[in-house]
A and B are shown apart, each in its own frame.
Chain A
Amino acid sequence: MTKKLIIFIISFLVLTGCGVQDNILEDLLLAEVTGYDAAGKNQIRGSTVVAVSQSGEKSQMGKEVYAATTHTGKNFIQKTEAEASKRLVGGRLQAVVYGEELAKQGIYDYVDTYRRDPAIGRNLYLAVVDGKAEDIVKIESKMLKTPDVKTKELIEQNSQANLPETNLHTFLYYYYGDNMDPVMPLLKQEKDHIRVKGIALFKNDKYIGKHIPYEDGFLFKMLYGNFKNGIYEIRLKENSYMNIQNISSSVEYNINTNKKPAANISVHIEGSVVEVQDVDLKKRSVISKLERDAEKVFQKNLKKMVRMFQDNDVDPLALGDKARSQIRRFDKKHWYDIYPSIPVTVHVKVKLVQEGITE
């Protein structure tokens, strides 16, 4: 008993050095948004905005930007520590943005590093910046009205309506999956705030330089999967527009398994009319006419969008993957060759529902 006690006490004295490195919350600089830009000569310029707390009765958060030019993505954090007063950690990173130029060269290496970091979750938002990523990071540091991270809030909020859900997990899923390509939100700096410009299209990990405009994000989401929310404006005729609010939309892909594959996409959308000009909504016949008109507009636009994907040889809708799930003995290499020339038909069925006190 005494011996056990002696060993116990000695271990207390001797093993005090064996510990884990602690990360006490207020002794850290928490990176919130990191941006990567191409800096020429195989170098990149990384910049990050960190939250700096001011202790006191009320919680006040200042923000600071650190930037450095290095060869690898993570090394810049090490370089910035030369200027930082506290240790810079990435565990609270909310969004990573990539400059247009770097995105065109391929961003896989700079995404992969986050995949390997155990401190980072899979719901990290990724985005492409129309222009330089550093600008977004700098703007972010000036947004002090809310303590939250603006870039993240922006993407998160828009994912409800016009943007598809895109985070580290979905990016990696679409990147590693055969016959599909990832998408990312395209951000743009506008004077002193950030705006979502649209959905950036990727071929593997390379930004192809084209994007779906923000307004058409609704159309993209109709094809991307089932969703709710979102408002779309339909031009009925000259000077006459209708706003449809989406209540629920479901999409179904049919790819026939003949020698010559052809895809048929059918979308069912149930929506309510938010606003319409010069139309009497009391009559049932008028509503069914509106439905036909909307269907026509949707079909035309959706077809145009799919055509655009095929022309650029990108597959953000994962048509190839859907074909694989429906065709026995699917040949993915052959699919790559024929993808741009597959005939795709889109059928849209619109149902307008009255809401509010008019009903």
Chain B
Amino acid sequence: MNFFKKKKKRIPPLPKNKAIPHVGDPAEDFEELFKKFKASKDFLSFQYPSEGAFTVSYFKTIVSPNQVHKEILLVLAEQQPSTLIEAKKVIPIENMKISTDLKVIQNAAMRGAVIIQLEKGNGNCLLVPCVSSEKRQISVPETEFSVVGPKEAFVESLETNVNLIRKRLPVPELQLKEIKVGKISQTRTAILYIDGIANHENVNRVCQRISELDYDTIADSSYIAQMIADNQNSAFPQFIDTERPDRAASVLSEGKVVILVDGSPHALIGPASIGEFFSAFEDYLLNWHIASGFRLIRLFAVLFSVMSTSMYVAVITYHYQSIPEDLLPTLIASRGAVPFPPILEALILEGTIELLREAGARLPTKVGQTIGIVGGIVIGTAAVQAGFVSNVLLMLVALAALASFTTPIYQISNTIRLIRFPFLIAAQLYGLLGVAICAAFFLSHLLKLTSLGRPYLEPLYPLRLQDMKDSFIRLPFSRQKKRPVNLRPEEAIRFEPKQEPKPRDIDE
């Protein structure tokens, strides 16, 4: 059986030397660096205040012009410093550096520093950070909107995002590690955790995985979420992404690790377990029994969304025995006119719904609404009247689509969208047995899945009853004395319950 044997992999020979320069590599010498800079039209380099004095050079598109004029050029003209050290003393800007290192100079210039040299300098440069960054205003959260509670959402600027978290957790133990990721984009990635609560294993794991990343451009935090996931082939997201700073702050104090990426308005939270994807932050803002009820509704909605069409196909195709008697005439009558077998009918409708959703998502909001109405009402009614699909299935598919929107985390709703198709095919192949087999496959996948090495299906498996207090239901705050066991926090106790005074009706 030669066919089934594994072939030995040939290891390609390592490249001998790095002769070819890569993009982003530092230049060989000063001349070459400036040649590279000058190739861009927005790079300015001039002598100031007079011929033979300082050479000032910068990219005019990333420095703040006001600051350059008032705090550098004006000062140089008035104070007339003669050396770089003197200049450094008179310029009223912090974090200035004098360096000859070409790599440092290049990085600083590309991040909005003004380079000041003595005209006949020996390559010594004074680097004055003078960056101007355009920011968006902090706005209302869109995907995780809540009626009550804070209305702030993360923006693209890392500083602003850290600020939003820090002002909620004013303790020095909230620590931040910064790693630059991406050879070209050099995206600043911040890892936040509370020292003394978060397990260092979790923190180190995140740091290690991020620092080992090798990619050219990181455009968003979801890049990182996919790259550092425990199982990159899983359909299930292994990090929660949130746009709410309040959510990020509250999970930090549980002992989780938050990853912020410059340029991304979404924070990543890990380790995550599957229950958290169905809990909205609003659950903590409502009374505990109401919140628990809503969580259970969401869980039911997800199960319904995944199973309903496949159940329909299985029952109509194989198990006519299990249809309730009173439903039978309705089902037969609505199916009777349909020329397709149930599986094709279901695939057509599911396809239509996915089409509508995709079209709605790609279009501007106002047009998107029109698409929804056109698709939902016109196409739906027409399809039933034309006898293409049965109205029972139309209702089921529409409900399933609606149910998949109940998940508070956008990533998991995409997963739910996708995983109903394997169920559908399994239902066609073996009926309810097929659905059960498919469910077993998914369950075994979920059992194996981990998020930062912590079990994904916790607290269901491994069964940890003490973590049930905030998973599928949410118990009152007085019961949340301990932090989740799953995170292995270094300080497990959240608060020491005080001796509760006996309630009295009348003050004595």
Interface string of A21-56 (1 = CB under 8 A from B): 011111010100000000000000000000101111
Contact B3 A20 (CB under 8 A): no
Do residues A59 and B320 form an inter-chain contact, with CB atoms below 8 A? no
- Interface hit among B42-50, B179-187, B321-329, B491-499: B321-329
Asked whether B325 lies within 8 Å of A54 as measured between CB atoms, the reply is: no
Q: A3-B3, A60-B333 are in contact. Are A23 and B317 (CB under 8 A)?
A: yes
Do the beta carbons of A54 and B336 come within 8 Å of each other?
yes
Chain A residues with CB under 8 Å of B321's CB are 91-92, 119-121
Closest beta carbon of chain B to A167's beta carbon, Å: 15
Q: Please state if B332 and A25 are interface contacts (CB–CB under 8 Å).
A: yes
B321, B335, B431 interface centre (most CB from chain A within 10 Å): B321
Give, as a whole number of angstroms, the nearest-CB distance from A33 to chain B: 13
Q: Is the CB of A23 within 8 A of B332?
A: no
Q: How many residues of A contact B (CB 8 A)?
A: 29
| Inter-chain contacts of B461 with A (CB < 8 A) | none
Asked if B429 is at the interface of the complex by the 8 Å CB criterion, the answer is yes
From the candidates B316, B326, B336, B430, name the one contacting A55 in the complex (CB within 8 A).
B336
Closest Cβ of chain A: how far from B432's Cβ, in Å? 11
Q: Which residue of B lies closest to A18 (CB)?
A: B429
> What residues of A have a CB within 8 angstroms of the CB of B431 in the complex?
20
List, in ascending order, chain B residues with CB within 8 A of A94's CB.
325
Is the beta-carbon distance between A59 and B4 smaller than 8 angstroms? no
Q: For the complex, what is the distance from the CA of A19 to the CA of B428, rounded to whole Å?
A: 10
Closest Cβ of chain B to A30, distance in Å, is 7
> Which residues on the B side are within 8 Å of A60 (C-beta)?
329, 333
Is B234 engaged at the interface, CB distance under 8 Å to the other chain?
Answer: no
CB distance from A90 to the nearest CB of B (A): 9
* B340 CB, nearest partner CB in chain A, Å: 10
Q: Hey, which chain A residues are within 8 Å of B104, CB to CB?
A: none
Contact assessment for A58 and B318 in the assembled complex, using a CB-CB cutoff below 8 Å: no
**Residue pair B329, A24 in contact (C-beta under 8 Å):** no
Chain B residues contacting A24 (CB-CB under 8 Å) are: 316-317, 341-342
Would B332 and A53 count as touching, CB distance under 8 A?
yes
**Given A3-B3, A24-B316, A25-B320, residue A92 in contact with residue B336 (CB < 8 A):** no
Q: In the complex, which of the residues B318, B320, B326 contacts A20, with contact meaning CB atoms closer than 8 Å?
A: B318
Given A20-B318, A92-B320, A92-B328, are A58 and B333 neighbors across the interface (CB < 8 Å)? yes
Q: Does A148 contact B (CB under 8 A)?
A: yes
Most buried by A among B318, B328, B332, B334: B332
Q: Residue A208 at the B interface, CB < 8 A?
A: no
How many whole Å from B330's CB to the nearest CB in chain A?
Answer: 5
User: Is B74 interfacial (CB 8 A cutoff)?
Assistant: no
B4 touches A3 (CB 8 A): yes
Return chain B residues, CB-CB under 8 Å to A148: 325-326
Whether B320 lies near A28 (C-beta < 8 A) is yes
Inside 8 A of B323's CB, which chain A residues have their CB?
25, 92
Interfacial chain A residues near B342, Cβ < 8 Å: 24
Q: How far in angstroms is the closest Cβ of chain A from B335?
A: 5
Q: Which residue of chain A has the shortest Cβ distance to B333 in the bound complex?
A: A59
Task: Tell me, yes or no, whether B337 is within 8 Å of chain A by CB.
Answer: yes
With A and B bound together, what is the CA distance between A94 and B324 in angstroms? Answer: 12
Distance between Cα atoms of A305 and B372 in the complex (Å): 71
A23 touches B320 (CB 8 A): yes
A121 to B325, CA, bound (A): 13
Asked if A20 and B430 make an inter-chain contact with CB atoms under 8 angstroms apart, the answer reads yes
Contact assessment for B336 and A91 in the assembled complex, using a CB-CB cutoff below 8 Å: no
CB nearest neighbor in B for A94: B325
Q: How far is the CA of A119 from the CA of B430 in the complex (A)?
A: 16
Chain A residues numbered 38-82 whose CB sits less than 8 Å from any CB in chain B: 51, 53-56, 58-61
Q: A19-B429, A20-B430 are in contact. Are A30 and B320 (CB under 8 A)?
A: yes
**Do the beta carbons of A53 and B4 come within 8 Å of each other?**
no
Task: Give the residues in chain B near A225, CB-CB below 8 Å.
Answer: none
* A89: Cβ under 8 A from any B Cβ: yes
A343 at the interface (CB under 8 A from B): no
> How far, in Å, is B345 (CB) from chain A's closest CB?
11
- Complex Cα distance, B431 from A71, in Å, reads 35
Cα distance A20–B428 in the bound complex, in angstroms = 10
The docked-state distance in angstroms from the alpha carbon of A209 to that of B426 is 53
Contacts of A89 in B (CB 8 A): 320
CA distance A94 to B325 in the complex (A): 9
- Cβ–Cβ < 8 Å partners of B227 in chain A: none
Inter-chain contacts of A91 with B (CB < 8 A): 320-321
Find the B residue at minimum CB distance from A21: B318
Cβ–Cβ contact A59 & B325, under 8 A = no
Is the pair A59, B318 in contact by a Cβ cutoff of 8 Å?
A: no
On chain A, the residues within 8 Å of B430 by CB distance are 20
Q: Is A147 an interface residue (CB 8 A)?
A: yes
B12 to chain A, nearest CB (A): 18
**B446 contacts partner chain A, Cβ-Cβ < 8 Å:** no
Q: Which of B3, B326, B335, B429 contacts A25 (CB 8 A)?
A: B335
Considering only CB atoms, which chain B residue lies closest to A120 in the complex? B321
Q: Does chain A have a CB within 8 A of B296? A: no
A54 to B430, CA, bound (A): 28
Residues on A with C-beta less than 8 A from B333 are 53-56, 58-60
Choose among B317, B318, B329, B335 the residue that contacts A61 (Cβ–Cβ < 8 A): B329
A26 to B211, CA, bound (A): 60
Contact A26 B332 (CB under 8 A): yes
CA distance A119 to B337 in the complex (A): 26
Taking the closest CB of chain B, its distance from the CB of A34, in whole angstroms, is 15
A22, A30, A89, A91: most-surrounded residue (chain B CB, <10 A): A22
Chain A: minimal CB distance from B389 (Å): 13
Contact of A59 among B316, B317, B330, B341 (CB under 8 A): B330
Q: Contacts of B332 on A, CB cut-off 8 Å?
A: 25-26, 51, 53, 55, 59, 61
Does B336 contact A26, Cβ atoms closer than 8 Å? yes
Closest to B331 in A: A25
Query: Closest residue of chain B to A119, judged by CB?
Result: B321
CA distance A91 to B431 in the complex (A): 16
Interface centre among A25, A51, A94, A147 (most CB of B within 10 A): A25
* CB neighbours of A61 from chain B (8 A): 329, 332
**B320 and A56 contact, CB distance less than 8 A:** no
- What is the distance, in angstroms, from B497's C-beta to the closest C-beta of chain A? 50
Task: Return the chain B residue nearest A60 by Cβ.
Answer: B333
CA distance A26 to B328 in the complex (A): 10
Residues of chain B with a CB closer than 8 A to A30's CB: 320, 328
Q: Which residue of B lies closest to A91 (CB)?
A: B321
* Binary flags per residue of A81-124, CB closer than 8 Å to B gives 1, else 0: 00000000101101000000000000000000000000111000
CA of A149 to CA of B320 in the docked complex: distance in angstroms? Answer: 16
Check A53–B337 contact: CB distance below 8 A: no
* CB interface residues, B 264-309, toward A, < 8 Å: none
**When chains A and B are docked, how far (Å) is the Cα of A28 from the Cα of B335?**
12
Pull 27 A–B residue pairs with CB atoms less than 8 Å apart, ordered by A.
Answer: A3-B3, A3-B4, A19-B429, A22-B318, A22-B341, A23-B319, A23-B320, A25-B316, A25-B317, A25-B320, A26-B335, A51-B329, A53-B332, A55-B333, A55-B337, A58-B333, A59-B330, A60-B333, A61-B329, A89-B320, A92-B321, A92-B323, A92-B325, A92-B328, A94-B325, A121-B321, A148-B326
User: Given A55-B337, A91-B320, A147-B326, list of 7 further CB < 8 A pairs?
Assistant: A20-B430, A22-B318, A30-B320, A30-B328, A51-B332, A60-B329, A149-B325
Ranked 5 nearest A-B pairs via Cβ: A55-B336, A59-B333, A91-B321, A53-B332, A59-B329
Binding site for B on A (CB under 8 A): 3, 19-20, 22-26, 28, 30, 51, 53-56, 58-61, 89, 91-92, 94, 119-121, 147-149
